[in-house]
Amino acid sequence: MRSAVAALALCGVAGCGTMENFAREAGSESRPLVVYGGVARSVETVKLKAQADGAEAALLPYYAVDIGLSAVGDTLTLPVTAPMACVRYAIVFLAACRGEI
């Protein structure tokens, strides 16, 4: 139980890429759900923070740990993200077949 609480607390501190994958403004499709998008967002954050200096650079280990936590979170959310990705790709495929794009 303590390890689960610690993982959730660390996830909150690090920004949790999986949560960022699901976060979007109401009615906005600018950031669609992506399979393992939390890991991708965590890696982007680590790259940005690695170039920073001062307090942001000091938190780099927490952001690096978030990559692993995001991998776990993204795996648990595959039942949501995978079907959404399939639907999105099917819509694009059908539009391409019709010559709409």
Task: Parse the chain into domains and list their residue ranges.
Answer: 2-97
Residue type, 51: Q
pTM equals: 0.71
CB 38 within 8 A of CB 73: yes
> Phi/psi of residue 12, each to 5°?
-65, -35
Q: Residues near 67 by Cβ (< 8 Å), separated by ≥ 6?
A: 17, 39, 42, 43, 46
Q: Which of 70, 81, 53 is nearest to 14 (CA)?
A: 70
- Per-residue pLDDT of the chain (101 residues), as tens digits, is 666 566 656 555 545 888 888 887 666 666 678 899 999 988 998 898 888 887 777 888 888 888 998 999 899 999 999 998 899 889 989 999 999 88
